[in-house]
Amino acid sequence: MQNYTLNGGRSPSTVAVVGMGKIGLPLAIQFAQQGRRVIGCDVNPKVVEMINSGQSHVQEEPELASAVASTVASGALSATLNTTEAVQQAGIVVVIVPVVIDANQEVNFQALDAATRAIGEGLQPGTLVIYETTLPVGTTSLRLRELLEGTARLRAGQDFLLAYSPERVSSGFIFRDLRNYPKVVGAIDEQSLAAAVAFYRSVLEADIISMASTDEAEFVKLIETTYRDVNIALANEFACFADAHGLDVVAAIAAANTQPYSHIHTPGVGVGGHCIPVYPHFLLAGAPLHPVGRDKSGPYAPDLGRDKSGPYESQGTFAKLPMLMLPRFARRINDAMAEYAVSRIEAIIGSLEQQSVLILGVAYRGNVREAAFTSARLLQDALRERGATVYADDPLYSEDELRAMGFRPLPPEREEEIRAIVLQAGHQVYQEYDFGRFPACRVVLDGRRALCRERIEALGMRYVTIGDGYRENAEMQRDLQSVSAVLYRRGSR
């Protein structure tokens, strides 16, 4: 690539961070604290206004509020609605705009495409563009490269540099994760890779892992998240088996995990968040749904022998299965756990028709104010299908916010009507929750194993967890032999 002289006020040390959300803002702070001038770009006027006034709109991240105030005061960080103008001033552009899935599990690039066009309109020769958004394999090298080149009228690898480095952090622990987790980096060519690696070495203490391409770096993140989804699904299957056979799955998993090659996760009432329930669909977007045989060109899943009983019976021929079978079914298993949990409650208290049930925690994870793809929605749907009146509580949200998300807050005068409680998010405050307010409650299903069994049982309530092995009755044993009945009744989300 040619060497270019930077124009006007443009500086090679200036970084434009496009997307100032829960990950983008901490990233901007990290860069600014390492001596970079950072311009944060966002389409939300309130976010921009708060940052420029020295305030953080992200509340869950330790150290962030004070860091925003100090970096803005020092002039190291500013924010703008004008992405194109910010890119014109920057030598490096880091993009962390979300990509989501729609109701049909199709990948929606709308926000990222718009951001990419805005970047392209301001892109200058010599600029390094790095995407950190989790993406389907091939997105950076094909879709985003084409958008940048078409908008900027520049050539990637010749006029500007293009790389990909997936964010690998968790909400509430972002600065810790930036320090500790190796940074995976891939690029479209060697010069882009060298520039991206040099940049991250200048702003991070973590090790750098260089990949052969942007495609391979995208694949890394999808492997990470899909592995967790599949692992949790396996734990949930073990939990259902344990319930059917009177076994304690957590004790069994803990013992199994003392073997160094066993790393089974924890079962529960479902999987939520921006990552684990979403990114497997990004992986599946690149895999054929229908079996492809050896007589046709392209990839295929392995023949697994004659299949006479499963869903892929092929009438006497050898079954050829769709690629990525495990991720497909893992998604369905994990989404089905909400209905499974409700069936356990129903086995204890009988029909839920016109019964009042309280869901504790609508956030997707304990102590995090974020409800993306929360299992609370699946629990609410499963309860309503059985005729229950469903209420929700979450100390991280106001009653108006709960209503806006489609949940019904519990009025104090209705507390005596609650017959069952499900803990969906293990907020720390629930450990001291006053369950004595619910005199008619017969069962508490602790979906995250976060409560004290003794405190619940001292109130005369049944304490239940997924996989605790309690045999409510013979009929329930038959129902819990496998989650398969639920799995095939409900499609993937």
Q: Is 275 a catalytic residue?
A: yes
Pick from 373, 369, 375, 341: which is nearest to 429 by CA? 369
Count CA within 13 A, CB hemisphere, residue 266: 8
Q: What is the secondary structure of 234-293 as a DSSP string?
A: HHHHHHHHHHHHT--HHHHHHHHTTSTT-------S---SSSTTTHHHHHHTTS-SS---
Which is nearest to 171 in space by CA: 478, 458, 425?
Answer: 425
Beta-sheet pairing, 77-80 with 37-41: parallel
- Specify the residue for token string 């799955």: 249
5 DSSP assignment: P
Structure tokens at 488: 């095939």
Nearest Cα to Cα of residue 184 among 157, 150, 153, 222: 222
In the set 41, 240, 275, 441, the catalytic residue is: 275
**Tally of CB atoms within 10 A around 474:** 8
478-482's contacts with Cβ under 8 Å and 24+ in sequence apart are 479/343, 479/347, 480/240, 480/243, 480/244, 480/343, 480/344, 481/240, 481/241, 481/244, 482/237, 482/240, 482/241, 482/244
CB atoms within 10 A of CB 425: 28
Catalytic residue among 221, 240, 320, 441: 221
Q: How far is the C-alpha of 196 from the C-alpha of 92, rounded, in Å?
A: 9
Q: Are 355 and 390 a contacting pair, CB within 8 Å?
A: no
Geometric angle at alpha carbon 37, from 33 and 40, rounded to 5°: 95
> Residue 399 in 3-state DSSP?
helix
Strand partners, 298: none
CA distances 103 to 278, 373, 489, Å, are: 11, 11, 18
CB 356 within 8 A of CB 332: no
Return the amino acid letter for 15. V
What are the structure tokens assigned to 86, written together?
């910010």
- What φ, ψ does residue 154 adopt, rounded to 5°? -125, 160
Using an 8 Å Cβ cutoff, are 126 and 46 in contact?
A: no
Task: Give yes or no: 221 in active site.
Answer: yes
DSSP assignment of 315-336 equals TTSEEEPPSSHHHHHHHHHHHH
Query: Catalytic amino acids?
Result: 221, 275
